[in-house]
Amino acid sequence: MTEYALAQRVLTLMDLTSLNDDDSVQQITDLIDGIDQHHALPAAICVFPQFVAHGKQRLLARELQQINVATVTNFPQGEQSIDGVLQETERALTEGADEIDLVLPYKQLLAGDPDTAWQYVHSTKQLCRNKSVLKVIIESGQLEDPVLIEQATEIAVLAGADFVKTSTGKVPVNATLDAARVILQTIKKTGKDVGFKAAGGVKTVEEAQQYIYLAEDIMGASWVNSQHFRFGASSLLSDVYRILNKG
């Protein structure tokens, strides 16, 4: 595969992400207006809940409504009350969110309480069922231990996640190939039709290719598509467009 073709493929697997504390309506507009229809289209944009409705409207205005709008809940610390998370999820769904990226209460898991983590995912899944894709962020860089990463992945999958996502992008260690391997192997072991998202720390198309190769090796080449595999990264987009714009 040529570098250009690889960049096109990576773009189709991307959630264009803007999750900065100072985000504004104008910044979300700029994110969407920066999508070049001459190239492949991303799978989704990922924004804070307050920008979901605007994101949907702006994509429609640009006739890009095939691009999903994802948002985050329990973000980034994973410490909101379950009632607060469910209320936030309901609002996001009402405003048209196609995908919910829920932060697992991973600190509870670290403290030896897997039941609370399961309940957050299960309860959110009840709201999302037949409405929205549920991606569960396990914050693998904070869990560190492969045993804990495997446990968090199992909890997410068995509680109803449609994707398991590595990271928020807001901690020192985000996506790594080692964590990705554990998550993918665990998903495969469960036998469930669950996808994987690498978020944070993937900065170049060359790095993205390593994750694609890993997923193909574990899950099979045909599995690696936007229904099962995503990247969440802001800096990756710059490298993708650098390659595509030079032809």
Active site residue 135: no
- ω into residue 76 within 30 of 0, thus cis? yes
Whether 205 contacts 10, CB under 8 Å = yes
Give the active site residue among 125, 162, 165, 239. Answer: 165
Active site residue 101: yes
SS (HEC) of 126-178: HHHCCCCEEEEECCHHHHCCHHHHHHHHHHHHHHCCCEEECCCCCCCCCCCHH
Residue 72 to residues 102, 188, 215, 223, Cα–Cα distance (Å): 6, 25, 24, 25
H-only helix segments in the chain:
3-12, 25-33, 52-61, 82-94, 106-110, 114-128, 140-143, 146-159, 177-190, 205-219, 235-246
Q: Which residues pair with 223 in a beta bridge?
A: none
Give the active site residue among 15, 101, 162, 239. Answer: 101
Active site residue 15: no
Give the active site residue among 56, 125, 135, 197. Answer: 197
Q: What residues are annotated to the active site?
A: 101, 165, 197
